[in-house]
Amino acid sequence: MKNKYLFPVLILCTGLFLSIWFHSSTTSQNNRFIQQEFRLLAENRYLMIKESLDHHWTVLHSAALVFKTFENISREQFSAFVKPLMHHYPNIQALSWVPRIKDEDREAYETLIQKEGFSAFMIKEKHGKRMIRRERSEEYFPVNYIEPFVGNEKAFGFDLASNLTRRKALIEVRDSPVEMLASARITLVQEAGKQFGFLLFYPVFKKNTQLSNIDSRRKGLRGFANGVFRIGDMLNESKRGNTELQAFDITLPDKPENLFSSTKSPVSKIVTKKTINVAGRSWQLVFTPTDSFVKKHERKLAFIGLIAGVTFSFLLSAFVYNLLNKKKQVEEKVQKRTQELYESETQIRAIVNTAVNGIINISENGKVLLFNPAAETMFGYTADEVIGQNIKMLMPEPYKSEHDGYLKKFIEKGKSSVIGTGREVIGQRKDGSAFPLYLSIGDMQMNGKRQFVGMVIDITKRKEADLELIKAKEKAEVANRLKSEFLNTMSHELRTPLTVILGNIEELLEIEELPDPAEIVDISQDVYKSGIHLLALINDLLDLSKIEAGKLDFLFEEVVVDEIIEEVIKTMKPLAKEKKLELHYQGKQHLSVRADPLRLKQVLLNLLSNAVKFTDQGSIAISSVRDNTMINIQIDDTGCGMKEEDLEFIFDPFRQIDNSMTRKIGGTGLGLAISKKIIEKHNGSITVKSQPDRGSSFLFSVPSYQGEIEHE
């Protein structure tokens, strides 16, 4: 806030200072110029005055010379000589001859003049306003010859010594070794009130007078040539219109007397003073410029400059204040925007860094510009390793080689199936392993250049899940198909004995058409056989479905292997004997297993009867052996055996290899499937090995008896 005012105020102060300085410097320069100009004028006028005065002195000097040269010059001669001079110098009020008359010569002198025609002539003095006869004195200095006479009649016969001022001057000029002497100002009788005048005395001595000797001078003094001068007219003569003049008599410095003034009050401070010596007196001439001179030389520039300067300072100051204010506002705005930008940038950066999906930004030629932490984790590269490299380093072949071409094509044609959408692609990690990922690409313009932003999601898990789902689905479909196949097969298996039963019974339905008794017996045997088979089928199916549904109860107990095998062999012996097959048990290991004896016997019977059924010659061997916690029981035969490709289906329901065999041998086709289920319920397993015409070998294992029987 302080700054807001500091600078403008500084500018204002500086501006004002400069304006005033400019003004004062211009003014003083102007003044100096005027003064110089004026001094020249004044100087000029001073010289003119001085010259004029010199001329006037010359006039008086000339007049004095006349008296000096011609001791008895007549009034007419004087007049004739002086008149033309005075015509040239009109400022001379009067020129006169003032003789020295001793008291003893007074009457004679007066008479002489009276005889000349001036009957009223007398030596007189001023008494108040009147002229009276001069009282008696040692000597007199009466004005005698006077030019012009007209107008100066009053002075005719006036004793200059009767007046103190004049007498002092007369005495001084008589006693001083000077050529002439001026009086102090006098009031001119004729010009009273208008201007002052002064007198100039020029002493005239007798010949042989020693001028350097006062006594000689006093004795030799004949009289004075006297000039009366009008100061005002004399000084005004040189007036040129540019100067005003005041003149002072400063012979007595303490008591200056005003001699002349052309103006009542000087208008200017510009003054030029000159002192001039006027026949023993000091006059000071004070020149001042006239109004018109001042006006003429006045320079308006300074004032205009001042006004302009001050105005400009204020304006500039206001402008700067405004500017600063605005600058401050702009700065605040910029700062705010910068802060906002920073926050927004920080947020976007944080989003990019926190995003769980990989974000990769590339240039139009495939150079990686950004590689976020999620992408780092996904590909195993650090951002530093990838940024600046071509994006294809993250792809396995053949995509790696094709990618530059794709990019180029897109830049040229602007068409792509990938941009703006997403799809599954293959990525390559730093360790070279490939993995599936979902890639979606957007394109954008940055500083006029195209860029791409890819969002990648590792879909390895999803792919695995997909695969498992597909597998599960396939499994379910297979199970479903198997189930429906099983039902179809079951239906087929049930219909076959039913066909025999129903087809034969038909023959016995009509009493008139009964066959002979032997035939009836044959039919009945066929029907009975099929009925028995049908029952076995139904029982086996029930068993199988019960086991599968977990509804068949197993009662586990300790079963002695030797005992149960002996039991089964006892059961099967007659059948084996019938086929002339050897049936023997190698074991007698005194092993016992944890089993349901009824079900275990069922399995043994099934396997043993199969062996007997499919073996036409040779032997059937049973063995039992301990394998760790399991007891292995094996049944080997020397029968027809089975092909390798048939073995994997052998435990499936109704998967008898050769149906004709079943027809001949019987059996439901469910025995092995049931046996497998039973063994599995015992936590055991059953396998088969076989070679065609060499025999088969069934091996199953059940857990050995460990003591306590837990009920299920």
Query: Nearer Cβ to another protein, position 424 or 519?
Result: 519
Here the tokens at position 52 are 């004029």
Least CB distance to another protein at residue 473 (A): 22
Q: Is 199 among the residues that bind another protein (CB under 8 A)?
A: no
SS3 string, 18-42, reads HHHHHHHHHHHHHHHHHHHHHHHHH
Least CB distance to another protein at residue 454 (A): 50
Q: Is 659 among the residues that bind another protein (CB under 8 A)?
A: yes
Query: Nearer Cβ to another protein, position 233 or 526?
Result: 526
Query: Nearer Cβ to another protein, position 305 or 641?
Result: 641
Q: Is 498 among the residues that bind another protein (CB under 8 A)?
A: yes
Query: Nearer Cβ to another protein, position 501 or 583?
Result: 501
CB 281 within 8 A of CB 184: yes
Torsion angles phi and psi, residue 306, rounded to 5: -65, -50
Query: Nearer Cβ to another protein, position 226 or 662?
Result: 662
Q: Which helix (H) or strand (E) holds 229?
A: strand 221-230
Least CB distance to another protein at residue 663 (A): 5
| Best CA proximity match to 353, nearest among 387, 380, 376 | 376
Least CB distance to another protein at residue 534 (A): 11
Euclidean distance between CA atoms 691 and 245, whole angstroms: 163
Here the tokens at position 312 are 């400009």
3-state secondary structure of 514: coil
Least CB distance to another protein at residue 505 (A): 10
Site for another protein in 660-679 (CB under 8 A): 660-661, 663-664
Query: Nearer Cβ to another protein, position 326 or 481?
Result: 481
Figure out which of the listed residues 123, 523, 581, 673 binds another protein, where binding follows CB under 8 A. 523
Q: What is the CA radius of gyration of the chain?
A: 82
Here the tokens at position 442 are 């957007």
Mask of contacts with another protein, 456-495, x by CB under 8 A?
--------------------------------x--xx--x
Query: Nearer Cβ to another protein, position 495 or 584?
Result: 495
The single residue listed with the structure tokens 């009945």 is 524
Q: Sheet harboring 358-363: ordered strands across? A: 368-371, 358-363, 449-458, 434-446, 422-428
Figure out which of the listed residues 26, 261, 268, 496 binds another protein, where binding follows CB under 8 A. 496
In angstroms, how far apart are the furthest CA atoms of the chain?
A: 242
Here the tokens at position 343 are 């926050």
Mask of contacts with another protein, 527-556, x by CB under 8 A?
--xx--------------------------
Applying CB under 8 A, the span of 55-63, 104-112, 114-122, 523-531 interacting with another protein comes to 523-531
Least CB distance to another protein at residue 498 (A): 5
Euclidean distance between CA atoms 66 and 62, whole angstroms: 6
Query: Nearer Cβ to another protein, position 307 or 498?
Result: 498
Least CB distance to another protein at residue 522 (A): 8
Q: Which helix (H) or strand (E) holds 474?
A: helix 460-505
CB 273 within 8 A of CB 286: yes
Q: Is 691 among the residues that bind another protein (CB under 8 A)?
A: no
Applying CB under 8 A, the span of 100-108, 256-264, 473-481, 522-530 interacting with another protein comes to 522-530
Figure out which of the listed residues 499, 539, 586, 589 binds another protein, where binding follows CB under 8 A. 499
Least CB distance to another protein at residue 646 (A): 13
Number of residues that bind another protein (CB under 8 A): 24
Q: Is 54 among the residues that bind another protein (CB under 8 A)?
A: no
CB 140 within 8 A of CB 101: yes
Which residues are within 8 A (CB) of 60 and not within 5 positions of it... i.e. 6 or more apart? 95, 180, 200, 202, 225, 226, 227
Query: Nearer Cβ to another protein, position 80 or 532?
Result: 532
| Best CA proximity match to 536, nearest among 660, 666, 652, 665 | 666
Least CB distance to another protein at residue 500 (A): 4
Least CB distance to another protein at residue 612 (A): 21
Q: Is 69 among the residues that bind another protein (CB under 8 A)?
A: no
Q: How many other C-beta atoms can be found within 10 angstroms of the C-beta atom of residue 475?
A: 11
* Percentage helix, strand, coil for the chain under 3-state DSSP, each rounded to 5: 50, 25, 25
Figure out which of the listed residues 137, 504, 571, 697 binds another protein, where binding follows CB under 8 A. 504
> Which residues make beta-bridge pairs with 426?
436
Amino acid, single-letter form, for residue 327: K
Applying CB under 8 A, the span of 29-37, 147-155, 438-446, 499-507 interacting with another protein comes to 499-507
Euclidean distance between CA atoms 278 and 49, whole angstroms: 11
State CA 588 to chain mean position distance: 100
Figure out which of the listed residues 60, 92, 501, 611 binds another protein, where binding follows CB under 8 A. 501
Site for another protein in 157-196 (CB under 8 A): none
Strand 619-627, strand 582-586: pairing? parallel
| Best CA proximity match to 453, nearest among 441, 445, 462, 461 | 441
Q: How many other C-beta atoms can be found within 10 angstroms of the C-beta atom of residue 687?
A: 14
> Which residues make beta-bridge pairs with 560?
592
CB 616 within 8 A of CB 580: no
Query: Nearer Cβ to another protein, position 469 or 520?
Result: 520
State CA 201 to chain mean position distance: 97
Least CB distance to another protein at residue 581 (A): 24
Query: Nearer Cβ to another protein, position 445 or 660?
Result: 660
- Give residues in contact with another protein (CB under 8 A): 488, 491-492, 495-496, 498-504, 506-507, 523, 526, 529-530, 658-661, 663-664
